[in-house]
Amino acid sequence: MNYTDKIYIFLLIIISYGCTQGSDTEKYQKSRDNIVNVHDKIKEIEIETVLIGRNSQSYLIDQYLIICDYTSPDQQIHLFNKNNFRYLASTAYKGQGPGEISNIGHVGIDESRRKFYVTDHGKQKIFSYDLDSVLKNPDYIPSVKMEMEIALFPDKYKYINDTLCIGRVIQPIGTNDFKPYVAKWNMITGDIKLMPYEHLDIKTKRSNVTVSAKHNRYVEYYSYHDLMTICDLDGNLKCNIYGPQWTSDKSQISGYWDAEFCGDKIVAAYSGGDHRTDAYFPTKLLIFDLKGNYLKTLETGYKLFRFCYDSENNRLILCMDDDIQFGYLDLTD
């Protein structure tokens, strides 16, 4: 073996070693074909006491299910018993008056103090609601938790305590554009610290985030790219997960709509359909482990909006735009 051959083999070893090392952080999943049909396992949640619009979001606090109705002209937040789905109370009147919500956004959950925080993007404020007071007093008026800045403001977040929230913040760009970031922010001071990691190949970014303090992780999931990014809560990259339809350019394919940590798994609502047609609604729930490895696909057969995870009952509560509006999927099996 001559000197040139030895150099060639040495370079191949170095390249191979580099590819092996990078495989833990750059995961390319060319197929996700472990599909389980769960359509018949989804049980309808019948809500007859109040009318709720199609565009809604569910949250959980203690023994209660909160459903936020983004299209309601009246009360925008409804509370139910999370175990039997019995209606209990409504709050958050729509309007410009004292304690009213003009443009409702995210609902942050403060389990330890039995409070929830409602973002009003019209008034640029976050309002604080005492759970027990809402349940007892139909005329309850919330207090102002904090004022938000217009230049960079929190959107969806995980409340950990008053000095530490982690989630998506929005920076308006021009008149009709914006850029989302993952950040830490302080509710008391309003200080926002952007996470250091950002995928540099994506120029037009549309993403959201879900956070687990227990697992020291967040997942950033993208709307127009078949991409999820897992980082620790200091913003250090754990891995990028590239699906079969990954492209760095903005795609016509609708990607991820929602994601949640469910026990030691990550569950993500994924579309894969043309966003210019009805196929843009997700019907699939992709299951990953905490390292980003694909495990299986749950095909619901329903057009999903959003969902939340009830850890106590080990089930997903689903908001849908289909024959049934709300339902739940037991994950025990």
Model confidence pLDDT, tens digit, residues 168-225: 999 999 888 999 999 999 999 999 999 999 999 998 899 999 999 999 999 999 999 9
Q: Which residues of 60-94 are buried (b: 16+ CB within 10 A; e: fewer)?
A: bbeebbbbbbeebeebbbbbbebeebeeebbbbbb
pLDDT (mean) for 277-292: 92
pLDDT at 197: 97
Asked if residue 5 has pLDDT above 60, the reply is: no
Place 274 in a pLDDT band, splitting at 50, 70 and 90.
confident
Asked if residue 76 has pLDDT above 60, the reply is: yes
Asked if residue 250 has pLDDT above 60, the reply is: yes
Residue-wise pLDDT for 78-134, tens only, equals 999 999 999 999 999 999 999 899 999 999 999 999 999 999 999 999 999 999 999
> Widest CA span of the chain, in angstroms?
88
Summary mean pLDDT of the chain? 91
Rounded CA separation 214/323 (Å): 36
pLDDT at 48: 85
* Prediction pTM value: 0.90
Amino acid at 281: F
Place 11 in a pLDDT band, splitting at 50, 70 and 90.
very low
DSSP state for residue 312 in the 8-state scheme: T
Place 333 in a pLDDT band, splitting at 50, 70 and 90.
confident
pLDDT (mean) for 298-314: 97
pLDDT at 276: 80
* CB 265 within 8 Å of CB 309: no
pLDDT at 1: 52
Amino acid at 7: I
Rounded CA separation 184/190 (Å): 10
Asked if residue 13 has pLDDT above 50, the reply is: no
pLDDT (mean) for 58-65: 98
Asked if residue 27 has pLDDT above 80, the reply is: yes
Asked if residue 71 has pLDDT above 70, the reply is: yes
Asked if residue 14 has pLDDT above 80, the reply is: no
pLDDT at 191: 96
Asked if residue 8 has pLDDT above 70, the reply is: no
pLDDT at 23: 64
% of the chain surpassing 70 pLDDT: 93
For the chain, how big is the Rg over CA atoms in Å? 22
* CB 265 within 8 Å of CB 288: yes
Q: How many Cβ atoms sit within 10 Å of the Cβ of residue 295?
A: 13
Asked if residue 226 has pLDDT above 90, the reply is: yes
* CB 107 within 8 Å of CB 66: yes
pLDDT (mean) for 266-294: 92
β-strand pairing of 26-28 with 125-130: unpaired
